[in-house]
C-alpha cells in the first residue's frame, strides 16, 4: 500500500511514456520545444511494464493512466498496454493524449486492453487551435475523438483549458458540442506547467468564471462530494442529465486532501505530486538489479513523504525547476 503521513492512499498511477510532443501549446512549452531526454535516459518498455506490475501486485494500484508528453509518440505503446492489461488484479487502463494519431491507433489500443481516453482540445475554432498549439492539426484531433468513441474507448473525456483573449468565450459552445457528440467535457484551470514560466494567477480563467459562463446557456446541477470521491473534477449534470460537465479547479479549489495519485516520470522517477520539486529514483534501482521488494520499499518510502498540498501558494514555486513535459498530466 502507498500511504502517506496524512492517511491518503495512492491507488491511481500516472505513467509518463515520453517527454516529447508534436504540439507546442502556449501554456505548456515554448515554440522551439525543449531539450528532450536521451533515449538511454528513458525507461524501456520492459522497465515500464515491470514498474506497473510492482505497483499493481505489491502496492495496491488499481488504475493506470499513460501520459506524456504525447504518449502516442511512444513506439511500443500498444505492446505496453497489452502487457499491463493481463496483470492480476487487472488495473483500469486509460490514456491522456492530444488526439493526433488517435484515428489510426484507437482500434489497436482498444484491442490491446485500453479502457478509455482523455483527449485535450481547447477550442472548436481551427484558427484559435493553431494559435494555441502553434500547429494546424485541429481536424486530426476531432477525427481522433470520433475514432476513440467508435472504438469503444468510452467514456471519451475532453480536457479543455481556457485562456484569456483566445478561447475564454467558448465554454458554452464547447459544452453544447460535447453533449451532441456524447463526450464528457472537463474544464481545467490553467496551471503553472509552462517551461518558460509565464504563468500568472492574475487574469487566469477560474472555475467560477467557467461556471458563470456555462450557466448563461445551461442548467447545472451539482453531483456532490459523495459522487466525486477522490476524482479531481467537480461534476454537474447538464440540464438534468444524463450528460455531465466537470471542472478541475487545481488553483482556486485545490483537492489535495483527497489525492490518490502517484506519478512515474518518463525517466523513472517517482513524483508524489504533479507540482513536487523532489523526485525519487527508481530507474537506478531497476538497472542495478534490485529485486521487486526493494523497488516497492523505495516507492513506499517516497510516498510516505508526500506533502499535504501542492505548494501553489508558495512564492518559491514559480522559480525554475525541471520541465513538466516528462512528468505527465
Question: Is residue 235 marked as binding?
Answer: no
Question: Is residue 310 marked as binding?
Answer: no
Question: Is residue 21 marked as binding?
Answer: yes
Question: Is residue 83 marked as binding?
Answer: no
The predicted model gives 302-319 an average pLDDT of 70
Strand partners, 10: 2
The predicted model gives 178-207 an average pLDDT of 76
Question: Is residue 65 marked as binding?
Answer: yes
Count CB-CB contacts under 10 A for residue 89: 9
Domain residue ranges of the chain, discontinuous segments joined by +: 2-326
Question: Is residue 28 marked as binding?
Answer: yes
Give the Å distances, CA to CA, from 324 to 91, 150, 187, 263.
26, 32, 20, 12
The predicted model gives 275-298 an average pLDDT of 95
* Residue 320 pLDDT: 43
Could you tell me the pLDDT band of residue 249, with boundaries at 50, 70 and 90? confident
Mean pLDDT of the residues in the chain: 89
Question: Is residue 96 marked as binding?
Answer: yes
Question: Is residue 84 marked as binding?
Answer: no
- 33: Cβ contacts below 8 Å, ≥ 6 apart: 24
Sheet containing 234-238: which strands, arranged edge to edge?
Answer: 220-222, 234-238, 244-248, 184-188, 157-160, 116-120, 92-97, 63-67, 12-16, 261-264, 269-271, 280-281
Fold of 2-326: TIM Barrel (3.20.20)
- 291: Cβ contacts below 8 Å, ≥ 6 apart: none
C-alpha cell at 294: 526493494
- 284: Cβ contacts below 8 Å, ≥ 6 apart: 268
Amino acid at each position: 500500500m502507498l500511504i502517506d503521513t496524512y492517511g491518503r492512499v495512492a491507488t491511481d498511477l500516472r505513467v509518463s511514456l515520453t517527454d516529447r510532443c508534436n504540439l507546442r501549446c502556449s501554456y505548456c512549452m515554448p515554440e522551439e520545444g525543449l531539450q528532450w531526454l536521451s533515449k538511454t535516459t528513458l525507461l524501456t518498455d520492459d522497465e515500464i511494464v515491470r514498474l506497473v506490475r510492482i505497483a499493481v501486485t505489491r502496492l495496491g494500484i488499481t488504475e493506470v493512466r499513460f501520459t506524456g508528453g504525447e504518449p502516442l509518440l511512444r513506439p511500443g505503446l500498444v505492446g505496453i498496454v497489452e502487457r499491463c492489461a493481463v496483470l492480476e488484479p487487472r488495473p483500469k487502463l486509460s490514456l491522456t493524449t492530444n488526439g493526433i494519431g488517435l484515428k489510426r491507433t484507437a482500434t489497436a489500443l482498444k484491442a490491446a486492453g485500453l479502457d478509455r481516453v482523455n483527449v485535450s482540445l481547447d477550442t472548436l475554432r481551427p484558427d484559435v487551435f493553431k494559435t494555441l498549439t502553434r500547429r494546424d492539426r485541429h481536424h486530426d484531433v476531432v477525427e481522433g475523438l470520433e475514432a476513440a468513441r467508435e472504438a469503444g474507448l468510452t467514456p471519451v473525456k475532453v480536457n479543455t483549458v481556457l485562456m484569456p483573449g483566445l478561447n475564454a468565450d467558448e465554454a458554452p459552445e464547447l459544452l453544447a458540442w460535447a453533449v451532441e457528440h456524447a463526450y464528457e467535457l472537463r474544464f481545467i484551470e490553467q496551471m503553472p506547467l509552462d517551461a518558460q514560466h509565464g504563468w500568472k494567477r492574475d487574469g487566469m480563467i477560474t472555475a467560477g468564471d467557467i461556471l458563470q459562463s456555462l450557466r448563461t446557456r445551461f442548467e447545472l446541477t451539482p453531483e456532490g462530494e459523495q459522487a466525486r470521491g477522490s476524482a479531481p473534477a467537480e461534476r454537474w449534470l447538464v440540464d438534468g442529465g444524463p450528460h455531465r460537465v466537470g471542472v478541475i479547479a487545481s488553483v482556486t479549489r485545490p483537492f489535495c486532501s483527497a489525492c490518490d495519485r502517484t506519478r512515474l516520470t518518463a525517466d523513472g522517477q517517482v513524483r508524489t505530486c504533479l507540482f513536487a520539486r523532489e523526485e525519487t529514483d527508481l530507474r537506478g534501482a531497476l538497472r542495478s538489479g534490485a529485486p521487486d521488494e526493494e523497488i516497492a520499499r523505495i516507492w513506499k518510502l517516497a510516498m510516505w513523504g508526500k506533502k499535504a498540498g501542492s505548494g501553489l501558494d508558495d512564492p518559491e514555486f514559480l522559480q525554475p525547476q525541471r520541465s513538466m513535459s516528462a512528468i505527465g498530466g
